[in-house]
């Protein structure tokens, strides 16, 4: 029997690409060049499975291409806001994602950004890189103590809960959370975190020293953090975003950082990334990372294996574990 034809849109970890070569008639993208809309359409017409990721715009237009051969889109990533899910469903395409395996690494990056922002790490590193450090002083770059402070989580799915665990058990932080209407409900026991659910976003923003975003991007969460919500935060508070750029109105955040309405921000994701508002580069009170949430050898390999398991189940006639639609 012929092997199913599989097209992978970006370069993946070596171990997973090797396994794909063994199992499928696979077209890899070792040059790692982002595919155009036309190339994505062609992929849907010529492969049984197209393996996408967060940088592929799988729009309603792409999905509406005539004579599709593909029956499944195996997304490499837990987030899938790059795919028009309703259009995929309407065209009879199954979509899967890769939850669970990136939980800890993404929560680690959120914690890293929290610490960087609180302790002014980016500003300190710039002093050294720019050869401007003249030595220790009792008042240089005083940041804020993290241990014992209050962490407010917006969204309380797997990644938020993993961060809560690290923050509570590692840094003795008090945990608040708020679940926006479209977010994942909490799924684990939270008793040992002594976490308090806030009934409104406003309460969480007002009562937190650190606010960390863990909700999916979508119509209901677009610019959830905006001029008005930033004004509710404490002037000593920090905003951490490892979710998706669209959840934050970046111009409003820049204005708030400049005006000292909040103390700092730690960002891993951006509206319109990889472009980011150039004003971010002029600010000292922001820590910026290039979407590194799941970027470890172990996790990216595990994500690839999760996609492999999903399409293997599909081709064997079973429902994949991570079916989205
Ligand atoms: C995801 O899986 O959605 C992440 O953003 C990729 O790091």
Q: pLDDT per residue over 14-35, tens digit each? A: 999 999 999 999 999 999 999 9
CA of 93 to the centre of ligand 1 (A): 21
Q: How far is the CA of 84 from the centre of ligand 1 (A)?
A: 16
Q: Are residues 281 and 305 in the same domain?
A: no
> Which CATH number covers residue 246?
3.40.50.720
Whether 137 is covered by a domain: the verdict is yes
Q: Note the pLDDT tens digit of each residue in 265-298.
A: 999 999 999 999 999 999 999 999 999 999 999 9
- How much is the pTM? 0.96
Q: What is the pLDDT of residue 180?
A: 84
Residues 84 and 123 in one domain: no
132 CA distance to ligand 1 middle (Å): 36
Q: Which numbered atom of ligand 1 lies nearest the CA of 293? A: 7
Exposure string over 42-70, b if 16+ CB within 10 A, otherwise e: ebbeebbbbbbbbbbebeeebbebeebeb
State the chain's mean pLDDT as an integer: 96
**Parts of the chain with a pLDDT under 50:** none
Catalytic residue chosen out of the listed positions 168, 291, 300, 306: 291
Does 227 lie in the same domain as 145?
yes
Question: Is residue 201 in a domain?
Answer: yes
In the annotation, is 319 catalytic? Answer: no
The CA distance from 105 to 102, in Å, is 6
Phi-psi region of 79 (alpha: psi -120 to 50; beta: other; left: phi over 0): beta
What's the residue count for the chain? Answer: 325
> What's the pLDDT score for residue 194?
84
Whether residues 229 and 201 share a domain: the answer is yes
**Predicted pLDDT at 182:** 64
Rounded-to-integer distance, Cα 163 and Cα 213, Å: 11
Quick one: 264 and 120 in the same domain? yes
**324 belongs to a structural domain:** no
157 Cβ inside 6 Å of ligand 1: no
Catalytic residue list contains 244: yes
Tell me whether residue 323 is in a domain.
no
Q: Per the domain annotation, does 83 fall within a domain?
A: yes
- Are residues 254 and 305 part of one domain? no
Ligand 1 centroid–CA 265 distance in Å is: 20
Assigned domain for 262 exists: yes
Question: Rg of the Cα trace of the chain?
Answer: 21
SS3 content of the chain, % helix, strand, coil (to 5): 40, 15, 45
Judgement on whether residues 182 and 218 belong to the same structural domain of the protein: yes
Q: Are residues 145 and 257 in the same domain?
A: yes
Q: Are residues 72 and 124 in the same domain?
A: no
Which residue from 102, 113, 270 has its CB within 8 A of the most atoms of ligand 1, so it is best to mutate?
Answer: 102
Instruction: Tell whether 28 is covered by a domain.
Output: yes
Residues 168 and 19 in one domain: no
Q: Are residues 122 and 197 located together in one domain of the fold?
A: yes
Indicate which residue's Cα is closest to atom 4 of ligand 1: 77
In a domain, 322, yes or no: no
Question: Based on the structure, what is the number of domains in the chain?
Answer: 2
Q: Residue 181: its pLDDT value, please?
A: 76
Q: Which atom of ligand 1 is nearest to 76's Cα? A: 2
Contact 242, 212 (CB under 8 A): yes
* Enclosing domain of residue 250: 103-288
- Is the Cβ–Cβ distance between 94 and 73 less than 8 Å? yes
Alpha carbons 262 and 275: distance in angstroms, whole number: 24
**Could you tell me if 46 and 113 lie in one domain?**
no
């Amino acid at each position: 029997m012929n092997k199913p034809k599989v097209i992978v849109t970006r370069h993946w970890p070596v171990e997973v690409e090797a396994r794909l070569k063994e199992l499928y008639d696979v077209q890899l993208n070792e040059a790692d060049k982002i595919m155009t809309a036309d190339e994505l359409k062609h992929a849907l017409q010529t492969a049984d499975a197209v393996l996408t990721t967060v940088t592929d715009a799988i729009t309603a237009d792409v999905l509406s291409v005539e004579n599709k051969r593909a029956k499944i889109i195996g997304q490499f990533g837990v987030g899938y806001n790059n795919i028009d899910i309703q259009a995929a469903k309407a065209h009879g395409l199954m979509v899967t994602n890769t939850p669970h395996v990136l939980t800890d690494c993404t929560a680690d990056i959120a914690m890293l950004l929290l610490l960087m922002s609180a302790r002014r790490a980016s500003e300190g590193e710039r002093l050294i890189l720019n050869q401007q450090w003249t030595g220790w002083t009792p008042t240089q770059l005083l940041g804020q103590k993290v241990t014992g402070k209050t962490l407010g989580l917006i969204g309380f799915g797997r990644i938020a809960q993993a961060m809560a665990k690290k923050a509570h058990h590692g840094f003795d932080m008090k945990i608040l959370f708020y679940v926006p209407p479209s977010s994942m409900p909490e799924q684990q026991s939270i008793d040992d975190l002594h976490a308090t659910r806030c009934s409104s976003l406003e309460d969480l923003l007002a009562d937190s020293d650190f606010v960390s975003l863990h909700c999916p991007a979508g119509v209901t969460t677009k610019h959830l953090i905006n001029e008005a919500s930033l004004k509710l935060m404490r002037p000593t508070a920090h905003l951490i975003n490892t979710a998706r750029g669209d959840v934050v109105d970046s111009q409003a955040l820049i204005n708030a950082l400049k005006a000292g309405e909040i103390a700092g921000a730690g960002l891993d994701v951006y509206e319109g990334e990889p472009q980011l508002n150039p004003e971010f580069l002029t600010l000292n009170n922001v820590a910026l990372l290039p979407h590194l949430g799941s970027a470890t050898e172990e996790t990216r390999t595990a994500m690839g294996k999760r996609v492999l398991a999903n399409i293997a189940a599909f081709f064997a006639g079973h429902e994949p574990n991570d079916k989205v639609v």
